[in-house]
């Protein structure tokens, strides 16, 4: 069955219970606030964040500063969209993608033995998070983002519309 918004309803889709809807909302808003906060911290000192990005030794030098300038804005926009529930599927998909990228980037730095400030909540500041802990934290956030995406994807976080019931 295909819903009115073009998404495919998966087998076993069940309407969420009130508790699940409440949990999805809380997790989505919390994720959004974390994104807005981390984006804001990165935007305060873009030079320090660019230093963190450069230290991962992944991007060419011409890409480091544009990336360091754009990512905080993306995080804040995504965070606001998550909090407000706008374009939920796209916002949560991009959130999942971003956390997957963060995990890969930090993981490869750990494997390569790079000693860096992860820059996750602003760059250049003494961080209390070691890299394994940063991976653990981002894994939890990735799981939370995936949970919200799963419900946004199936559309089961909303009440079914009348034409969907005909499927």
Residue 88 CB neighbour total at 10 angstroms:
21
Task: Tell me whether residue 30 or residue 77 sits nearer to other proteins (CB atom).
Answer: 77
CB contact at 8 A, 119 and 49: yes
CB of 79: closest distance to other proteins in angstroms? 12
Among 27, 34, 41, 78, binds other proteins (CB under 8 A): 78
Residues 53-72 that bind other proteins (CB under 8 A): 54, 61-62, 64-66, 68-72
Taking the C-alpha atoms of residue 7 and residue 26, their distance in angstroms, rounded to an integer, is 24
> Is 4 an interacting residue with respect to other proteins (CB under 8 A)?
yes
127 C-beta neighbours (distance < 10 Å), count: 18
Q: Give CA–CA dist 162/152, Å, rounded.
A: 18
What is the nearest approach in angstroms of other proteins to the Cβ of residue 77? 6
Find the Cα–Cα–Cα–Cα dihedral 31, 150, 16, 144, rounded to 10°.
-30
Which residues contact other proteins (rule: CB under 8 A)? 1-8, 43, 46-47, 50-51, 54, 61-62, 64-66, 68-74, 77-78, 87, 89-91, 93-94, 97, 149, 153-154, 163, 166-167
């Amino acid at each position: 069955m295909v819903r009115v918004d073009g998404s495919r309803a998966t087998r076993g889709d069940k309407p969420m219970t009130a508790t699940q809807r409440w949990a999805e909302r809380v997790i989505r808003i919390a994720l959004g606030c974390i994104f807005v906060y981390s984006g804001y911290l990165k935007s305060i000192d873009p030079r320090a964040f660019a230093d963190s990005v450069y230290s991962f030794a992944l991007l060419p030098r011409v890409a480091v500063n544009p990336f360091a300038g754009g990512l905080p804005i993306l995080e804040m926009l995504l965070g606001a969209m998550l909090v407000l529930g706008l374009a939920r599927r796209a916002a949560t998909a991009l959130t999942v993608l971003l956390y997957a990228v963060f995990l890969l980037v930090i993981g490869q730095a750990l494997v390569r033995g790079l000693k860096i400030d992860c820059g996750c909540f602003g760059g250049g500041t003494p961080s209390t998070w070691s890299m394994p802990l940063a991976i653990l934290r981002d894994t939890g956030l990735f799981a939370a983002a995936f949970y919200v995406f799963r419900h946004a994807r199936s559309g089961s976080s909303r009440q079914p519309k009348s034409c969907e019931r005909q499927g």
